[in-house]
Amino acid sequence: MSPNRDLAKEIRAALADDNLKGALFHAVSGINEKRRGVVARFDEYERARDAARRIKEQAIADLPALVDRFRAAVQKHGGNVHEAADGDAANRIITEIARDSGAERITKSKSMTSEEIHLNDALEGAGFKVRETDLGEYVIQLAEDRPSHVTAPIIHMSVEDVRRVFRERLGLGEVPREPEELTQLARQRLRADFLAADLGITGANFLLADTGTVVIVENEGNARLTTQLPPTHVVLAGVEKLLPTAADLLPFLQLLPRTATGQLLTSYLSFISGPGWGASPFHPGAERSFHVVLLDNGRYSMREDDLLREALYCIRCGGCMTVCPPYQVVGGHVYGGPTYPSGIGNAWEAGVRGLDTAAEFNDLCTTCSRCQDVCPVRIDIPWMNTVIRERIAERRRQPRGLFERVVYDRLFPVEEDGSVSLSARLFSDPRRVYRLARRRPWRRLMRLGPARRALVRSAGLAPRPLPEARDETLTEWFRRRGGRLATSRLQVERLCDDRRGSTVFLLADCHIDNVDTEVGKSAIRCLEKFGRGVVLVSGQCCGRAALSQGMLRTARAQARELQQMLAPVVRTGHEIVGVEPSCLAAVVDDHAKLLPGGGADKVAARCHEVLHFLDRIVAASEEAGAERWEQKSGGEATVCVLHGHCQQKTLGWMPAAIGLLRRLPGVELRVTTSECCGMAGSFGYKSDFYPLSIEIGRRLVDEIDGIGADAGGRSADGCRTLACGTSCRSQIGEIGAREVLHPVQLIDERLGKQGDDGQLLAQLREFYR
């Protein structure tokens, strides 16, 4: 962790701040709900995202040419384009423009880029009066605070906070109570600033290279007044804001307002291509002028970096922030750098300030991937943050010591060069943890309080129960039962050619193999009841755990082994089924990134999440004429609340799970909207993040209880909680003190009952005979 910041301490302070938590929770819940609504009603959503992504890729590839094209077009309209290599250069250029135009008072509309280069400090230092006019930015300026979100700068403040700022900083005795009155108070004060200003500075959301047009997206109208009233208009924009042509803007117009605020379009879209016409009515003598300052400040280097380039596609909608589980609790001042908050902030801070700045908060990314799902340009933020984590670790790594080489390397080898801590060695491979936990001497030792506490402390672990390894693994149970087991590529190959029945390959991930063995057993029984012969693929870790430690070399080695093991399946066209969503996500999503060109995409195409797979079977049987698998049980249905696992949601496996469970006899299904349980693999076990993890989890449990209570007014005990992730189950189970089932356990149980009636199973057997 950085010497400059104590993240654990900042987290504790944020968690103790009820004002912050309340304001943030209220705002992000509202924004997310609106976004979900407008996105669901937008049929072209995915197509627009594809188009936007393609355009951004093209624009960044052609950037130098676009700068030339843009400059020529702006000049044709009578404007000027300046290029600034860094923040100092941009500040100098803008200060000179202000001086040359004889300006004294400057109004500014919201610009994160100006925050990045501390433009206000530079202008004030040169003697200019600068007024931020976006309402949130105005409050920030008065309070000498900094924005904690890219589109909602004071999302961390309550109404009371704003009142205090107005009272103290404006020297007012009486400050109104309501947001409406506070807004009007600010409007009156700022109106005077607008009318007095002789220079206006704005940012830009997009720059259209062919027509030389600056596009500004806003709601308040302050950018309108900033650009219309003063005779001189200066635009400060990151060079990545360029789009090749005006026509390219359409998908961004469709996406940005929807994702940022849940609007179809914002109140104002300004298209400005030059200095406008005639004298400004309030500055009759002054001639109009127009300047665009294109800022590099690390962006061209990001463009050369195969990883960070993707961040240049960002359109600063802030969607990734409002859905980010740690951000939702601690906000952008804790989870963020000096300018850019949250997940995407890692790449931006790494790009414009350097890796050390990103290192200050990178650990707060749980790689839950919920941001990836809302990103209008499909930026793979979790992957960027994982690779940034690796870069940080590689840079800091000391040479391995003698003890490490002699002892640790034998016991827990890793692929990384240099020193790797014991806890990282353990956490990067769950099999090690479980193997150790199953040893009898170890268990005896762990029963001793002091020994456990000492170990927990030295490994930076939180005081919470660790997952308990079962005496008998799923693999052992399966072998005892006489099942077909594959623990090597050769065995997979042999069993692929075994033409008995319709075989599926079930991945025994580390969690169902060691801890949630009952989930694994239910999955096997369900697949069998649905007429499939199961081969259990066991013994190889997917690499997820190493990935979340930023240990990409180890993860790559693990991925390679698992890929080699599964490869024969592609040749024979068999299906692979996975239970733990995070492990399956590693196989279908991350392996291709770890092993480019290694054929992982072919394996991914054969992989299915277990509920997704069962849903397909049921749908196929119905299509073939079997009676619909609808609710036919008599008696009262049980309310079941399903919490989707992060990756299960991101990778689009939820609709099938919901569809399947909705039709399960005797089940009345409800689904949570919380993004994540907060456990996120090892995140919730680390002492630094434990309180944050618990807070995220508690909100989820509150939501589940609320849903349970709403559904038929029954007590929370009357409903069952379902979750697909092993992390989710242990988090909800621990905080909510309840049993949490994987849906396959419920299906297993219900199919068993139906089996007694004989109806449903008979149908299925008939179909698969």
Partner 1 sequence: MHASKPQPIDVFASVLEQTGGSVERVSTSRQVAAAIASTAREQGVSEILYEPCTAVEELQIKFLLAAHGVDLLPVDRARSKAPQLRVALTGAELAIAETGTLVVGGKPGGWGLASALPWVHLVVLRDQDVVADLAAAYRRFVARLRGGEGDWVWITGPSRTADIGHTLVLGAHGPNALKVLVLQ
Structure tokens belonging to residue 606: 């054969």
Pull the structure tokens for residue 273. Answer: 């291509």
Determine, following the binding rule CB under 8 A, whether residue 671 of this chain makes contact with partner 1.
Answer: no
- The pairing of beta strand 533-538 with beta strand 503-508: parallel
Residue 547 CB, shortest distance to partner 1, in Å, is: 35
Task: Compose the 281-320 pattern: x for residues touching partner 1 by CB under 8 A, - for all others.
Answer: xx-x------------------------------------
**Which of 7, 11, 20, 23 is close enough to bind partner 1 by CB under 8 A?**
23
The only residue of 55, 246, 512, 567 in contact with partner 1, by rule CB under 8 A:
246
Q: Residue 63 and residue 613: Cα distance in Å, rounded?
A: 44
The residue within the footprint of partner 1, chosen from 75, 184, 502, 631 (CB under 8 A), is 184
Residue 277 in contact with partner 1, rule: CB under 8 A: yes
The dihedrals phi and psi of 213, each to the nearest 5 degrees, come to -105, 135
Binding residue for partner 1 (CB under 8 A) from 1, 247, 448, 490? 247
Based on the shown chain and the rule CB under 8 A, indicate whether residue 58 belongs to the binding site for partner 1. Answer: no
Closest approach, Cβ 20 to partner 1, in A, equals: 13
Rule CB under 8 A: choose which of 254, 385, 514, 721 binds partner 1.
254
Using the rule CB under 8 A, which residue among 227, 362, 385, 621 binds partner 1?
Answer: 227
Alpha carbon 655 to its chain's center: 20
**Closer of 34 and 662 to partner 1 (Cβ):** 34
Pick the closer one to partner 1 by CB: 268 or 442. Answer: 268
DSSP line for 181-228? HHHHHHHHHHHHHHHH-SEEEE--SEEETTTTEEEEEESSSHHHHHHH
Among 225, 260, 524, 728, indicate the residue that binds partner 1 (CB under 8 A). 225
Q: Is residue 183 part of the contact set for partner 1 (CB under 8 A)? A: yes
List 32, 270, 328, 647, residue binding partner 1 (CB under 8 A): 270
- Integer Cα distance of 207 and 72 in angstroms: 13
Asked if 385 is part of the footprint of partner 1 (rule: CB under 8 A), the reply reads no
User: How crowded is residue 102: how many other Cβ atoms within 10 Å of its Cβ?
Assistant: 11
Sole window of 241-249, 293-301, 373-381, 447-455 interacting with partner 1 (rule: CB under 8 A): 241-249
Nearer to partner 1, 23 or 358 (CB): 23
Alpha helices in 589-725 (DSSP H): 591-594, 600-605, 610-623, 646-650, 654-662, 690-710
Closest approach, Cβ 133 to partner 1, in A, equals 7
Q: How many CA atoms lie within 13 A of 319 on its CB side?
A: 29
Q: How far is the CB of 75 from partner 1 (least distance, A)?
A: 12
Stretch that binds partner 1, among 247-255, 340-348, 416-424, 688-696 (CB under 8 A): 247-255
Can residue 37 be called a binding residue for partner 1 (CB under 8 A)? no
Q: Which amino acid type is present at position 2?
A: S
By beta-carbon proximity to partner 1, the closer residue of 229 and 302 is 229
Distance CA 255, CA 263 (A): 9
Cβ atoms of 392 and 359 closer than 8 Å: yes
Instruction: Quote the CA–CA distance of 426 and 414 in Å, as a whole number.
Output: 10
Q: Which stretch binds partner 1 (CB under 8 A): 82-90, 249-257, 485-493, 522-530?
A: 249-257
Question: Which helix H or strand E contains 238, and what residues bound it?
Answer: strand 232-238
Segment contacting partner 1 by CB under 8 A, of 1-9, 214-222, 392-400, 535-543: 214-222
Q: State the sign of the Cα–Cα–Cα–Cα dihedral 32, 35, 41, 42.
A: negative
By CB under 8 A, tell whether 276 contacts partner 1.
yes
Query: To the nearest whole angstrom, how small is the minimum distance from the Cβ of residue 624 to partner 1?
Result: 33
Nearest approach, Cβ of 62 to partner 1 (angstroms)?
19
Rounded least distance, CB 59 to partner 1, Å: 17
Least distance from partner 1 to the Cβ atom of residue 240, Å: 22
User: Which listed range, 217-225, 409-417, 489-497, 629-637, lies at the site for partner 1 (CB under 8 A)?
Assistant: 217-225
Q: Which residues contact 617 (CB under 8 A, 6 or more apart)?
A: 530, 531, 532
Contact status: 210 vs partner 1 (CB under 8 A): yes
* Cα–Cα distance, 264 to 219 (Å, whole number): 12
Interaction of residue 568 with partner 1, rule CB under 8 A:
no
If binding is defined by CB under 8 A, does position 187 make contact with partner 1?
Answer: yes
Cβ atoms of 648 and 743 within 8 Å: the answer is: no
Angle between helices 18-40 and 250-261 (to 10 degrees): 140
Q: Given candidates 7, 14, 20, 27, which one binds partner 1 under the rule CB under 8 A?
A: 27
The CA-CA-CA angle for residues 672, 674, 676, to 5°, reads: 115
Q: Whole-angstrom Cα distance, residue 12 to residue 25? A: 17
Number of H helices, E strands in the chain: 41, 19
Residue 49, number of CB atoms within 10 A of its CB: 18
By CB under 8 A, which span of 184-192, 477-485, 584-592, 726-734 interacts with partner 1? 184-192
CB nearer to partner 1: pick between 282 and 442: 282
> Quick one: 156 or 606, whose CB is closer to partner 1?
156
Candidates 87, 203, 212, 351: give the one binding partner 1 (CB under 8 A).
Answer: 212
At 314, list the tokens.
């960002």
Q: Interface with partner 1 includes 271 (CB under 8 A)?
A: yes
Do strands 206-208 and 129-132 pair parallel, antiparallel, or not at all (unpaired)? unpaired
- Nearest to residue 226, comparing CAs of 105, 97, 96? 105
Supply the minimum distance, in Å, between the C-beta of residue 345 and partner 1: 20
Taking only Cα atoms into account, the Rg of the chain, rounded to an integer number of angstroms, comes to 29
Does residue 201 interact with partner 1 by CB under 8 A? no
- Cβ nearer to partner 1, comparing 261 with 428: 261
Question: CB 172 → partner 1: shortest distance, Å?
Answer: 15
Residue 131's φ and ψ, nearest 5 degrees, are: -125, 120
Is 273 one of the binding residues for partner 1 (CB under 8 A)? yes
Of the pair 158, 297, the CB lying nearest partner 1 is at 158
CA atoms lying within 13 Å on the CB side of residue 602 = 14
- Interacting residues of 440 by C-beta distance below 8 A, sequence separation 6+: none
Interaction of residue 263 with partner 1, rule CB under 8 A? yes
**Interacting residue with partner 1 among 63, 84, 150, 182 (CB under 8 A):** 182
DSSP letter assigned to residue 637? P
Question: Which positions from 121 through 180 interact with partner 1, judged by CB under 8 A?
Answer: 133-136, 139, 152-155, 158-159, 162, 178-180
One-letter amino acid of 138? Y
Residues for the chain: how many in total?
Answer: 769
C-beta separation of 108 from 229 below 8 A: no
- Least Å distance, CB 614 to partner 1, is 38
Minimum distance of partner 1 from residue 350's CB (angstroms): 29
- DSSP readout, 425-487? HHHT-HHHHHHHHH-HHHHHHHHSHHHHHHHHHHTTB-SSPPPPPPSS-HHHHHHHTT-EEE-
Instruction: Name the segment binding partner 1 (CB under 8 A); options: 19-27, 588-596, 657-665, 710-718.
Output: 19-27
Site membership for partner 1, residue 266 (CB under 8 A)? yes
Q: Does 721 bind partner 1 (CB under 8 A)?
A: no
Q: Which helix (H) or strand (E) holds 760?
A: helix 759-768
The residue written with tokens 């600033």 in the block is 193
Could you list the residues that contact partner 1 (CB under 8 A)? 23, 26-27, 30-31, 77, 133-136, 139, 152-155, 158-159, 162, 178-180, 182-184, 187, 190-191, 194-195, 208, 210-213, 219-222, 224-225, 227-229, 246-247, 249-250, 253-254, 261, 263-274, 276-278, 281-282, 284
